[in-house]
Amino acid sequence: MHSLSLGTWFIHILTVLEWTLAIILILRISKQSFQHRSIILLSFAMLPNLASAMAAITWHIFDNDTSLYSLVYIQALLTLLGNTTLAIATWQIAKRKDNSITQT
């Protein structure tokens, strides 16, 4: 685990914890405050990016071992999937918000 500095490890781990907390908070807030499922879907759309971060950290834990280089491809695929699902979820929220504004 010496391939990254202590500060970089700190940022990596805090980012994963922050992303996990954001997912949990969005789920709780959506259940309490919003009637729309599109907000709940946002939290699920965040999961591929969280898995991507975990893949990156796993590769770093094993000192960027070349035998685990497939984790880099998995991370890239999960990032693409995560960014796509987040864009779709955001579009659904915006679409729902536009409909509720025009109907009132």
Given pLDDT bands bounded at 50, 70 and 90, which one contains residue 1? Answer: low
**Locate tokens 């929220």: which residue?**
93
Share of the chain above pLDDT 70, in %: 87
**Residue 31 one-letter amino acid:** K
Asked if 72 and 59 count as a contact pair (C-beta separation under 8 A), the reply is yes
Q: What digits encode the pLDDT tens for the residues 3-48?
A: 788 999 999 999 999 999 999 999 888 887 655 677 889 999 999 9
What pLDDT does 31 receive? 80
Asked whether residue 104 carries a pLDDT value surpassing 50, the answer given is: no
Between 41 and 98, the higher pLDDT residue? 41
Asked whether residue 52 carries a pLDDT value surpassing 70, the answer given is: yes
Closest CA to 51 of 74, 27, 70, 28: 74
Mean pLDDT of the chain: 87
